[in-house]
Amino acid sequence: MLVYRIALTKYAGKLVASGRAARWNPNEVNMIYAASSRSLACLENTVHRSQAGLSQLFSVMIIEIPDHLTIKAIRLDDLPEDWVEYSEMYITQSLGERWIKENESPVLQVPSSIIDEEVNYLLNPAHKDFEQIRIIKTKPFIFDKRLKE
């Protein structure tokens, strides 16, 4: 399976987790976010950056997850109705932190908070099978200026 991650070009050569808090992890819990498509990866970046932030040098990483690896999933039905609200982010962060600590799978499929019919993939860099997940190609990515005029 191929998944996609858009990052600043200077960070796009390796799969590295920042450890900074986000939707599915609290601070100091390392996980790598990827999306099921380039367009979803674009939207996930766009909602978190200003137009000035989008004008930097970015690349899209095309990441291969081998089909034999275990992918655990959190479904919309597993989440409360208001899970996308910022005030409720502790719910998804605790689910992500539990997944990392249990260390049962290298990949967790989660719903996108932007388009609930789409999914993102979280990668666990501490899992023994993580080394099988690899970047197969990196290409420059330019955000269309019309996205945030």
What is the per-residue pLDDT for 92? 97
- The secondary structure of the chain as a DSSP string is -EEEEEEEGGGTTS-------BTTB-TT---EEEESSHHHHHHHHHTTS-HHHHTS-EEEEEEE--TTS-EEE--GGGS-TTTTSGGGHHHHHHHHHHHHHHT--SEEEEE-SSSTTSEEEEE-TTSTTGGG-EEEEEEEE---GGGG-
Q: What is the pLDDT of residues 8-38, one digit of tens each?
A: 999 999 999 988 999 999 999 999 999 999 9
The structure's pTM equals 0.94
Please give the mean pLDDT across all residues of the chain. Answer: 94
Q: What is the pLDDT of residues 67-85, one digit of tens each?
A: 999 999 999 999 999 999 9
Query: What confidence tier does 61 reach under pLDDT thresholds 50, 70, 90?
Result: very high
What is the per-residue pLDDT for 149? 67
| Residue 52 scores a pLDDT above 80 | no
